[in-house]
């Protein structure tokens, strides 16, 4: 199943509409590659696109370490971080997609925004996030030529081409992503 980027962009817009304090919303895959993002109109981001890409990769990596104890303490609904300049949250959508958001630093009702507005939005839009954990589906997608570089998401016809591109273009780079 090919990724419907227009659908993901529409979803990111819907997330922005959940509250005036939502600054930025991005849908990322399980490698931390940003598939879609939107920012509040007129907002100057604090980080560059490359810095946001790097943040996304590290946020997904941190999320994966947090799931180690889910069998004992339950599923992680979201992870939250309050910085001097803004608030961040990582929200798992399914095993392959995550929502990253930033909120204004003054926001005090972040939990209700996430749990009462954004979580229902995710539930109502699950059809946008096809769960390709089934290896047969994943294999079929690869056969259709949708191998992607894990750093920049550029598409290739073969896994070898994607790996070669990654090694040539990004081997010296650190991982990257936007606010």
Domain extent for 75: 5-130
In a domain, 20, yes or no: yes
Which pLDDT score is estimated for 151?
65
In the sheet that holds 97-104, the strands lie side by side as: 34-39, 22-29, 97-104, 86-92, 79-82
Q: Which of 27, 24, 23 is nearest to 8 (CA)?
A: 27
Answer yes or no: do 101 and 13 share one domain: yes
What pLDDT is attached to residue 164? 78
Both 118 and 33 in a single domain? Answer: yes
Average pLDDT, the chain: 82
Indicate whether 19 pLDDT > 50: yes
- Spatial separation of the C-alpha atoms in residues 148 and 142, rounded to whole Å: 9
pLDDT category of residue 54 using cuts at 50, 70 and 90: very high
Which neighbouring-strand residues pair with 148? 155
Q: What is the pLDDT of residues 118-169, one digit of tens each?
A: 999 999 998 888 644 443 344 334 434 456 666 666 666 666 777 777 778 7
According to DSSP, residue 108 is labeled: S
Handedness of CA 127, 3, 19, 58 (dihedral sign): positive
The predicted pLDDT at position 154 comes to: 65
pLDDT score, position 116: 96
Query: Does the pLDDT of residue 102 top 50, yes or no?
Result: yes
Q: Are residues 64 and 102 in the same domain?
A: yes
How far is the C-alpha of 145 from the C-alpha of 35, rounded, in Å?
17
- Higher-confidence residue of 134 and 171: namely 171
Residues 91 and 148 in one domain: no
Residues 107 and 155 in one domain: no
Measured at the CA of 166, the angle between CA 162 and CA 169, to 5 degrees, comes to 130
Question: How many separate domains does the chain show?
Answer: 2
> How crowded is residue 158: how many other Cβ atoms within 10 Å of its Cβ?
11
Percent of the chain with pLDDT over 70: 76
- Helix boundaries (H) for the chain: 5-16, 49-66, 70-73, 110-112, 119-124, 135-143, 159-170
Same domain for 72 and 89: yes
Does the pTM exceed 0.75?
Answer: no
Query: 170: how many CB neighbours lie within 10 A of its CB?
Result: 15
Distance CA 5, CA 26 (A): 12
Angle at 125 between CA 129 and CA 21, to 5 degrees: 110
151/123 same-domain check: no
Identify whether the C-beta of residue 34 lies closer than 8 Å to the C-beta of residue 163: no
Whose structure tokens read 């939107």?
Answer: 38
Taking residues 72-101, what's their average pLDDT? Answer: 93
pLDDT tier at 85 (50, 70, 90 boundaries)? very high
């Amino acid at each position: 199943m090919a990724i419907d980027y227009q659908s993901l962009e529409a979803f990111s817009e819907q997330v922005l509409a959940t509250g005036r304090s939502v600054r930025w919303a991005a849908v990322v895959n399980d490698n931390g590659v940003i598939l879609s993002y939107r920012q509040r109109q007129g907002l100057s981001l604090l980080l560059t696109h490359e810095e946001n890409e790097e943040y996304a990769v590290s946020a997904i990596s941190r999320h994966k370490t947090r799931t180690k104890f889910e069998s004992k303490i339950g599923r992680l609904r979201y992870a939250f971080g309050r910085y001097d300049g803004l608030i961040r949250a990582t929200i798992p959508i399914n095993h392959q997609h995550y929502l990253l958001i930033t909120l204004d630093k003054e926001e005090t009702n972040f939990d209700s925004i996430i749990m009462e507005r954004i979580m229902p939005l995710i539930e109502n839009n699950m059809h946008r996030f096809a769960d390709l954990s089934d290896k047969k589906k994943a294999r079929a997608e690869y056969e259709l030529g949708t191998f992607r570089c894990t750093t920049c998401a550029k598409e290739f016809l073969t896994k070898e081409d994607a790996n070669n591109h990654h090694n040539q273009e990004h081997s010296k780079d650190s991982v990257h992503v936007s606010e």
